[in-house]
Each structure stands twice: as structure tokens, then as C-alpha cells.
Amino acid sequence: MTLALRCRCGQVKGIVSTGRAYVRATCYCKDCQAYARHLGRPDLMDTQGGTDIVAMNPLAVQFTAGEENIAGLCLRKGGLFRWYAACCRTPLGNTPHDGRVAYVGIVTACLAPAEEVDAAFGPAGRVVLNTGSATGEVRGTPVAFVLGGVRIAAGILGAKVRRQTPGLFFNPSGQTLRTAYPLNAGERHAVGLETG
């Protein structure tokens, strides 16, 4: 089964093959909240400040249009690369720095329609991460959290064993296709991150 990927303005388009997904999760970490604010899209968070993502193998995703609009940033040194559609500031996916690690957290804001997303991955909120920094009460999901972690680890390891070639935001040798700029001190301050 495939799902449509689309930025808000429709310039960036793609398809996601659901069979390569690891787990759907909602992240309440301060960085994900700061990122939504930086993009000017706090509306994409749930009422407790959570960002809904589907962790998957990068091979699951294929861009079909508007790839030139993709930009990247990094909130802190060593932090995740966060890729977004610069045309309308729609978050797309977050990755580690090393493209050889078969992981991308696709932000479900770029997947539609919602019913199909739920049908493919189950409803949001079954796995929650970093609830300590949620802006409201969120019940932890310890068992699902561990199982989700195992699925991600198994997916990454399996891709390594198969010597999967990096793709999506990376070239075959694992370097990024475009620069993910770090936020400067002013930008960090503006979204509530420490400026140091």
C-alpha cells in the first residue's frame, strides 16, 4: 500500500510505501516543539505539544515533484537533520547525520488523508516519546515504546546487513544532498532554545 506525501502548497510531492514503516510515534521533546515554532507551524502539534511521526526505512519514500524545494536545518550541534519543504515550511522528515543509518521519521503532517494514515499505521498516540517535556498531561506507553524501539533497531540493523544504499536526503556514500543549516543564536532564542 502507498500513501501520498504532499507539502501544504503542493509543490513537493511523493509517495510512501507503508510496508517499510517501523512504528508511528508522537514526540514531545523540546526540539520538535522548537522546530514547529521555527517553521511557523505550531498548529501541526497536538494540544500537548506533540509531533506525530512515522519512523520508517528511507527506501519507503520517493519524491515525485518539487524536490528542489527541500531544505534542511539542524537545531543543535549533532542534533537530527530536519528536512522540510521550504516553499510552505511543511516538515517532511527527520534523519540522523549519517545517511547509512536506515532511519527517517516522516512527519505525518505531510501525509494524507488522515484516515488512510491511521489505517496504515494505527492511530496516533499509541507510542509516545519524551513526555516529560509535553505541555500537558500525557500518559506514557512503556510497552509500546520498547516494542517500537525494537522494530526501529531491527529495521536499521536489517538494512545494514543487506548493505542498503543510502537514499532520500543522502547520496549513495551517505553524505547529504543539500546542506542542513544550523540555527543561529537569534533563531534559537526565538523558538525558546538556549542560545549557547
70 CB-near residues (< 8 Å, 6+ apart): 12, 63, 83, 84, 85, 86, 92, 169, 178
Residue 107 or 168: which CB sits closer to Zn ion?
Answer: 107
Residues that bind Zn ion (CB under 5 A): 7, 9, 11, 27, 29, 32, 85, 87-88
For Zn ion, which is the closer residue by CB, 11 or 164? 11
Instruction: Tell which residue, 63, 54, 163, 170, has the closest CA to residue 114.
Output: 54
Distance CA 65, CA 104 (A): 19
Name the nearest CA neighbour of 192 among 32, 47, 34, 29: 34
Q: In whole angstroms, give the CA distance from residue 192 to residue 14.
A: 32
CB of 165 to Zn ion, least distance (A): 27
Nearest of 159, 187, 179 to residue 35 by alpha carbon: 187
Measured from the CB of residue 166, what is the shortest distance to Zn ion in angstroms?
Answer: 22
d(CA 21, CA 106): 10
- To Zn ion, the closest distance from the beta carbon of 12 in angstroms equals 5
Indicate the residue among 29 and 183 with the shorter CB distance to Zn ion.
29
How far CA 177 is from CA of 21, 23, 58, 113, 166, in Å, comes to 23, 26, 14, 29, 11
CB of 33 to Zn ion, least distance (A): 8
Residue 39 or 102: the one with the smaller Cβ distance to Zn ion is 39
Q: Closer CB to Zn ion, residue 11 or residue 17? A: 11
**Least Å distance between CB 11 and Zn ion?**
4
- Pick the closer one to Zn ion by CB: 87 or 190: 87
Dig out the grid coordinates for 26 from the structure: 508522537
- The nearest distance, CB 91 to Zn ion, in angstroms, is 11
